[in-house]
Amino acid sequence: MPVPNIPIPEQLKDRPLWRGYVVTYVTFVGRDGVPDFKVIDEKKRRGCLQRGLCGLCGKPLDKVIVFIGGPKCVEQRLFLDPPMHKDCALYAAQVCPYLRDAEAEYSDAPARHLGKDDTVIRDYEDINPQRPDRLAIYYCRSYDMIEGNGTWIAKAGKPTRVDWDVMPQRQTKAAKKDMKYVTISEVLPPEGVAVVQAFAQEVKDGQHASRDYLDVHSALRERLRPFESYLAEHGMTDIDFFTLVILRAMGVSGTDSFLPPTSGRA
Ligand SMILES: [Zn+2]
């Protein structure tokens, strides 16, 4: 999935990038220099808690402290993920595939950097592979460190605000049923429909079979680019999402291999 084109907040600008994604302060980076976005560097995470640093940019926290978590975390005010700046958290909420896609799950690809030393606590077994249905941005002014899960976690101060509307909610089965489906011809003009049909034929003929899913996705997206304004008219501002739905409808598989290794939380 291409990286959304969202401006990087000032504090995060000096973080390194990997495949277009910001390598956050707590992201585990292997000895080969390759980040593993699904693994949090425990030493750094604990360092953030102890020293009051933002887990994403690594700089001192502001008065407003933000956590991201599901209903259970919010209710108990307990967060395993480090505290963050508001701007950093809002950026992550819009960019990190795990946060911005309500249907996201952690990829089950094997972790690259496990068991070498004690810096890694989080692996795929430790975390619930399914994203909670709802995720909140939790604002507060303080937190304590308490012992839990065999490590130190944050007990957040009382919230000054809890915002459930920033990150999408997973659709319940009932809501999915009620969703209004539009057909491609309702959204695209005849030339656009022809483009999709031609592409579907190419897929059927196996022309794209040998390509990486990401390439197939970009190829169709580029061809649909001239019709972006039609999509916008129908309230579909996300051409990537539209393209993805079409590819799925075409039976193009490989969503796992196309997910960047950033499907963990940023
Ligand atoms: Zn920050």
Looking at the DSSP bridge assignments, the partners of residue 27 are 40
Residues 184 and 165 in one domain: no
pTM over 0.85: no
Which of the pair, 193 or 132, is modelled with greater confidence?
A: 193
Question: Could you read off the pLDDT of 41-93 as tens digits, one per residue?
Answer: 888 999 999 999 999 999 999 999 999 988 888 988 999 889 999 999 999 98
Residues 93 and 115 in one domain: yes
Of 103-107, 130-134, 225-229, 258-262, which gets the smallest average pLDDT? 258-262
Residues 165 and 89 in one domain: yes
Q: Report the separation in Å between the CA atom of 87 and the middle of ligand 1, taken as the mean of its atom positions.
A: 7
Residue 235: its pLDDT value, please?
A: 67
Q: Report the separation in Å between the CA atom of 195 and the middle of ligand 1, taken as the mean of its atom positions.
A: 43
* Average pLDDT rounded to a whole number, residues 25-30: 89
* Average pLDDT rounded to a whole number, residues 126-138: 68
> Has residue 4 been placed in a domain?
no
Residues 55 and 120 in one domain: yes
Helix (H, G, I), strand (E, B) or coil at 137: strand
> 50 and 85 in contact (C-beta within 8 Å)?
no
Q: Report the separation in Å between the CA atom of 141 and the middle of ligand 1, taken as the mean of its atom positions.
A: 15
Looking at the DSSP bridge assignments, the partners of residue 120 are 41
> Has residue 43 been placed in a domain?
yes
Residue 159: its pLDDT value, please?
A: 95
- Identity of the amino acid at 81: D
The two tokens of residue 113 are: 């950097």
pLDDT at 39 over 90: no
Q: How many domains does the chain have?
A: 2
